[in-house]
């Protein structure tokens, strides 16, 4: 809106990023050879909008910087088409959301605004009612500047511009975006939307600093926030914990128009999604993962659930979030071992779909294995991690988009999981999921080799890559009989027959393996116990 500070914030952002800045009003005045108020008075608004539309289209064709548009420009259909084309090519269209009182005061002080002729404040409010829904719909980045200096707003904008965005377009379910980058959490209010009044903020104690930020953003946006702390890790993924949350929601009067926000690791986001899927048969929810594992796995894909005494994730639902905000700043609080275990899921995604992930892991194994949250932000490793997260999420999005409910293609995401879930259960969930998946991938590779699907070199490659990242490649826990019993309860099993997913020839080529020979199943298990 007029007075939001587009020119000042735009210039600051461009300077921080080292890119050029242009202002549409200045470009238009160069084109028409007079001031905009004078042109408005002489030729009228329709003619001005035509010129404005042409200038914007011409500028966006070859400009690689920050471009501040006039407040009325996005209301013109031709400009809307230009902006949509720009976004389709990867461009960012930013809605700078200022405090109305501040914006009106600045707009009045600046003067020279034909659209505010007459009662300026009343005219501003009228325009806001008309424009706000359009701006909100058109923009793919929303930056709230309430209480921010121009420098603070510019830094927030810069972080959002640098974000990586993966669109998850799900058949027979709502699509959503996964945003990856520093400050991604700032999108929280925009993703929740204006139709929500109350928000249940579900989080664990170890991520208090991140839940504090989420709570502040929610309250700043006017939501009524209800804090719900759950046990950390798998201890929080139980029916008893879920029941306690349902009781809280009932007592506090949550309705179908309210929402859930999950902040934390994979277990917390799984639980938050399960609560959202089951309360009132489904309410809006947003995932804010704070660990590498949660960013690449649990928060994306629409799987929600809890564990039972019978096994892991056997009770749950398929329910997509409104959005996922993978804020890289949350990784600074991760201990090294928690970061490294997330690499198990990253490597799995490389094996099943994107071999470039494997090459990145190879090239940066020492840095990844030595992760230190204190030096992470601003380092070269941050860019590496961001690319790995984006690529892994794209692998998941590919499988989920066509097969939300795991009827076929999505099962390939479970590479290594048949044994992994058995290990977690036998170890009473003291083993981290990503570590169990790494061992599970080794097991799947050994089984595939025994049955002639892959050669020994690819088995050895699994071993060398996973161990170079600091991930385990063997397990000496329970007996084969215990493991076999649990693998028969795996979600991929069909009747009394085991079902695995294995590589066929090379990474990126997957097949289902139904009812493999019992001796091969046992021999592969023996080989990962070395």
Residues within the annotated binding site for NAD(+)?
A: 232-237, 266-270, 290-291, 303, 312
Q: Please enumerate, by residue number, every residue annotated as part of a binding site for Zn(2+).
A: 345, 417, 433
* Phi-psi label, residue 311: left if phi above 0, alpha if psi -120 to 50, beta otherwise: left
Distance CA 101, CA 78 (A): 30
Q: Please enumerate, by residue number, every residue annotated as part of a binding site.
A: 3-8, 25, 49, 71, 113, 131, 232-237, 266-270, 290-291, 303, 312, 345, 417, 433
What phi, psi does 441 have (nearest 5°)? Answer: -65, -40
Cβ contacts of residue 19 below 8 Å, gap of 6+?
A: 64, 65, 66
Provide the strand spans (E) within 431-523.
499-504, 506-514
Q: Please enumerate, by residue number, every residue annotated as part of a binding site for Mg(2+).
A: 7
Structure-block tokens of residue 109: 């002080």
Distance CA 371, CA 349 (A): 20
* Buried b or exposed e, range 444-480, using 16+ CB within 10 angstroms: bbbbbbbbebbeeebbebbbebbbebbbbbebeebee
Using alpha carbons, select from 21, 22, 48, 20 the residue that is nearest to residue 34: 48
Q: Please enumerate, by residue number, every residue annotated as part of a binding site for substrate.
A: 25, 49, 71, 131
363, burial (CB in 10 Å: exposed 0-12, middle 13-18, buried 19+): exposed
Indicate the length of the chain as a whole number: 530
Q: Give the CA distances from residue 67 to residues 16, 31, 62, 382, in Å, rounded to whole numbers and listed in that order.
A: 14, 16, 12, 28
Q: Please enumerate, by residue number, every residue annotated as part of a binding site for ATP.
A: 3-8, 113
């Amino acid at each position: 809106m007029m007075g939001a500070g587009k020119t000042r914030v735009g210039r600051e952002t461009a300077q921080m990023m080292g890119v050029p800045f242009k202002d549409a009003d200045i470009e238009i005045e160069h084109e028409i050879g007079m001031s905009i108020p004078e042109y408005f008075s002489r030729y009228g608004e329709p003619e001005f909008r035509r010129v404005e539309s042409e200038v914007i289209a011409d500028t966006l064709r070859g400009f690689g910087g920050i471009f501040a548009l006039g407040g009325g420009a996005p209301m013109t259909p031709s400009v809307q088409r230009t902006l949509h084309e720009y976004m389709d090519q990867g461009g960012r269209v930013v809605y700078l959301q200022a405090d109305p009182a501040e914006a009106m005061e600045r707009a009045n002080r600046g003067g020279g605004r034909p659209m505010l002729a007459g009662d300026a404040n009343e005219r501003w409010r009228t325009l806001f009612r008309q424009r706000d829904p359009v701006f909100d719909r058109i923009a793919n980045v929303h930056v709230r500047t309430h209480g921010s200096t121009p420098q603070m707003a510019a830094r927030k904008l810069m972080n959002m511009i640098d974000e990586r965005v993966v669109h998850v377009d799900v058949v027979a379910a709502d699509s959503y975006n996964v945003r990856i980058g520093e400050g991604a959490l700032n999108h929280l209010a925009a993703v929740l939307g204006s139709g929500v009044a109350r928000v249940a903020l579900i989080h664990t104690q170890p991520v208090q600093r991140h839940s504090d930020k989420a709570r502040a953003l929610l309250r700043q946006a006017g939501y009524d926030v209800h804090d719900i702390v759950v046990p950390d890790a798998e201890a929080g993924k139980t029916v008893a914990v879920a029941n306690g949350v349902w009781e809280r929601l009932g007592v506090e009067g949550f309705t179908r128009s309210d929402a859930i926000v999950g902040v934390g690791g994979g277990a917390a986001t799984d639980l938050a999604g399960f609560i959202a899927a089951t309360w009132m048969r489904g309410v809006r929810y947003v995932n804010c993962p704070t660990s590498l594992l949660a960013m690449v796995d649990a928060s994306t894909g629409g799987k929600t659930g809890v564990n039972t005494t019978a096994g892991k994730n056997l009770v749950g639902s398929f329910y997509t979030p409104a959005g996922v905000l993978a804020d890289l700043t949350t990784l600074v609080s991760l201990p090294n071992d928690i970061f490294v275990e997330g690499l198990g899921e990253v490597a799995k995604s490389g094996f099943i779909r994107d071999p470039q992930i494997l090459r990145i892991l190879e090239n940066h194994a020492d840095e990844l294995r030595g992760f230190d949250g204190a030096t992470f932000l601003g380092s070269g490793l941050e860019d590496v991690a961001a690319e790995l997260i984006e690529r892994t999420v794209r692998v998941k999005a590919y499988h989920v988009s066509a097969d939300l409910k795991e009827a076929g293609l999505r099962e390939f995401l479970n590479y290594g999981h048949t044994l992994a879930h058995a290990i977690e259960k036998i170890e009473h969930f003291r083993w981290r999921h990503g570590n169990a998946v790494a061992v599970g991938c080794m097991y799947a590779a050994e089984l595939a080799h025994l049955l002639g699907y892959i050669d020994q070199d690819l088995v050895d490659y699994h071993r060398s890559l996973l161990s170079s990242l600091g991930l385990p490649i063997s397990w000496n826990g329970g007996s084969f009989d215990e493991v076999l019993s649990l693998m028969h309860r795996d979600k991929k099993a069909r009747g009394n027959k085991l079902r695995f997913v294995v590589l066929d020839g090379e990474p990126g080529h997957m097949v289902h393996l139904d009812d493999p020979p019992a001796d091969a199943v046992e021999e592969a298990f023996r080989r990962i116990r070395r």
